């Protein structure tokens, strides 16, 4: 059996909190982060709710100690990754082989949009400095420099499974004795390009999303960042506080069914979950809680639900979609939901699936609608399924 990879620290920023503690409080209050656009300048303002981080770019820069704002995607990454690394409190970190594996899908597009807004109005205007960090990799490099990580830096962009893939890639680097410590997860900021693209696909809800509800009408876009600090067994023994869990299982599968839609029978979803269970040497009955991908679209929820029915029937664990709190944060979603999975184990809590009123008729199970505390949470399955059929599942297990 492969050597275990431990979770030593977590960090998160989203529409429901600027740090992990604020997320825990929001879950306990069942307080979602969606609302009218206040920071994003869009023609859809007032029509489409979004889940914005409650910090402006100048506020983010000030909190991070930056002289000037860089791309919002990078600053969200810096904020959450620093919290994760600080919470890990790894002694002698500068002597360990440390990597930063980060995911995103929009890169520094928010700055690019600012440039073109000025440039199109007057070709003599527009700051070219705003476009130099446009690509996804530049966001990772900015955050890595901020953290002081130099040994190994990589960017993953596989749509909505991006940061789940970055996490298990980090685990593989540790298991193959390439690195000792990996900060892994993802980040994404809201942009006009992304909002317009999803609106063109006609999968955005004009009200707050209702994942796994029979009358669901689509998703709400969100933004944020989530990171976990993965460490080897040797590093885990050096920590002042014992890690609460390991990353015990992971798997990526691709059914290549459609560019933007999941296969109706959830083939990729099923293969990802089944593969993660096999790697963790667990059975479906061992899973305490599933953090659903649960976007709230017609196609996604029935595909994921069908795969869960195929794998878990007739005994279903607790499950819920935390996107009912944070919106769909795209490249950040797997990282944020990895943090929530660790919190479920640490806090012994099952998070609710907000606004679920009418269960889906074609599924024999219903996600939890109320917060459950003092639960027995030993193994959490976290699903992240992306465009192009790129499906990933992670399993976190109590130590």
In CATH, 6-238 is 3.40.47.10: yes
Token pair 């002597």 is found at: 95
pLDDT at position 118 is 82
Query: What would the mean pLDDT of 154-180 be, rounded to a whole number?
Result: 97
Structure tokens at 387: 């465009």
Evaluate whether 224 touches 326 at the Cβ level (below 8 Å).
yes
Query: What would the mean pLDDT of 170-192 be, rounded to a whole number?
Result: 98
Radius of gyration of the chain from its Cα atoms, rounded to whole angstroms: 20
Give me the half-sphere count of Cα atoms (radius 13 Å) on the Cβ side of residue 146: 26
What are the backbone angles phi and psi of residue 342, rounded to the nearest 5°? -65, -40
Question: How far is 271 from 346, CA to CA, in rounded Å?
Answer: 28
> CB under 8 Å to 184, separation ≥6 — which residues?
99, 100, 101, 102, 163, 166, 167, 169, 170, 171, 227, 228, 229, 230, 335
pLDDT at position 261 is 73
pLDDT at position 181 is 98
Q: DSSP character for 231? A: E
Evaluate whether 390 touches 349 at the Cβ level (below 8 Å).
no
Is the entire prediction scored with pTM above 0.95?
A: yes
pLDDT of residue 148 exceeding 60, the answer is yes
Residues of the chain within CATH 3.40.47.10 domain(s) are 6-238, 245-398
Evaluate whether 18 touches 55 at the Cβ level (below 8 Å).
yes
Question: How far is 150 from 45, CA to CA, in rounded Å?
Answer: 41
User: From the DSSP assignment, how many helices (H) and strands (E) are in the chain?
Assistant: 12, 12
The SS3 of residue 120 is helix
pLDDT band at 233 (very low <50, low <70, confident <90, very high): very high
Evaluate whether 327 touches 211 at the Cβ level (below 8 Å).
no
pLDDT one-digit tens code per residue, 258-282: 776 778 889 999 999 999 999 999 9
Q: What percent of the chain has pLDDT over 70?
A: 99
Evaluate whether 384 touches 161 at the Cβ level (below 8 Å).
yes
Render the burial of 153-182: b for 16+ CB within 10 Å, e for the rest: bbbbbbbbbbbbbbbbbbbebbbeeebbbb
pLDDT at position 119 is 86
Question: How far is 13 from 20, CA to CA, in rounded Å?
Answer: 7
pLDDT one-digit tens code per residue, 307-365: 999 999 999 999 999 999 999 999 999 999 999 999 999 999 999 999 999 999 999 99
pLDDT of residue 204 exceeding 90, the answer is yes
* Burial status of residue 125 (CB atoms within 10 A of its CB: 0-12, 13-18, 19 or more): exposed
Mean pLDDT (the chain) is 96
Evaluate whether 60 touches 18 at the Cβ level (below 8 Å).
no
Helices (H), ranges, the chain: 20-29, 57-64, 72-88, 109-121, 136-147, 162-175, 192-200, 233-238, 267-280, 298-312, 323-326, 333-347
pLDDT one-digit tens code per residue, 367-397: 999 999 999 999 999 999 987 789 999 999 9
Question: How far is 348 from 59, CA to CA, in rounded Å?
Answer: 33
Instruction: Indicate the CATH number of 245-398 among 3.90.1150.10, 3.90.1170.50, 3.40.50.2020, 3.40.47.10.
Output: 3.40.47.10
Indicate the angle between helix axes 72-88 and 136-147, nearest 10 degrees: 40
User: Which residues are annotated as catalytic?
Assistant: 160, 293, 328
pLDDT band at 117 (very low <50, low <70, confident <90, very high): confident
């Amino acid at each position: 059996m492969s050597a275990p990879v431990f979770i030593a620290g977590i960090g998160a920023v989203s529409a429901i909190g600027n740090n992990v503690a604020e997320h825990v409080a929001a879950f306990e209050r069942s307080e979602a982060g969606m609302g009218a656009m206040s920071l994003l300048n869009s023609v859809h303002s007032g029509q489409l709710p979004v889940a914005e981080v409650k910090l402006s770019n100048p506020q983010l820069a000030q909190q991070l100690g930056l002289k000037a704002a860089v791309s919002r995607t990078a600053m969200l990454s810096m904020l959450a990754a620093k919290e994760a690394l600080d919470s890990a409190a790894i002694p002698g970190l500068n002597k360990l082989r440390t990597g930063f594996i980060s995911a995103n899908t929009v890169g520094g597009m928010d700055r690019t949009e600012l440039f073109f807004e000025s440039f199109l109005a007057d070709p003599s205007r527009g700051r070219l400095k705003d476009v130099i960090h446009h690509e996804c990799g530049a966001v990772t490099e900015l955050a890595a420099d901020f953290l002081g990580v130099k040994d190994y830096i990589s960017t993953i962009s596989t749509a909505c499974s991006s940061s789940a893939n970055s996490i298990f890639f980090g685990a593989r680097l540790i298991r193959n004795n390439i690195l000792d410590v990996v900060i892994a997860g993802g980040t994404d900021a809201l942009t006009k390009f992304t909002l317009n693209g999803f609106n063109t696909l006609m999968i955005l809800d004009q009200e707050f999303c209702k994942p796994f509800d029979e009358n669901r009408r689509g998703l709400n876009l969100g933004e944020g960042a989530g990171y976990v600090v993965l460490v080897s067994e040797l590093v885990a023994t050096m920590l002042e506080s014992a890690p609460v869990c390991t990353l015990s299982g992971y798997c990526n599968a691709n059914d290549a069914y459609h560019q933007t839609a999941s296969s109706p029978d959830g083939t990729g979803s099923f293969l990802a979950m089944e593969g993660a269970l096999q790697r963790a040497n667990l059975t479906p009955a061992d899973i305490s809680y599933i953090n659903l991908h649960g976007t709230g679209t017609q196609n996604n929820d029935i595909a994921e639900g069908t795969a869960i029915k195929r794998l878990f029937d007739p005994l279903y664990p607790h499950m819920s979609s935390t996107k009912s709190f944070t919106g769909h944060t795209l490249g950040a979603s797997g990282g944020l939901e990895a943090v929530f999975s660790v919190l479920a184990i640490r806090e012994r809590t099952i998070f609710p699936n907000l606004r679920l009123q009418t269960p889906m008729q074609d599924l024999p199970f219903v996600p939890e609608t109320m917060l459950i505390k003092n639960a027995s949470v030993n193994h959490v399955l976290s699903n992240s399924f992306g465009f192009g059929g790129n499906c990933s599942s992670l399993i976190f297990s109590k130590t």
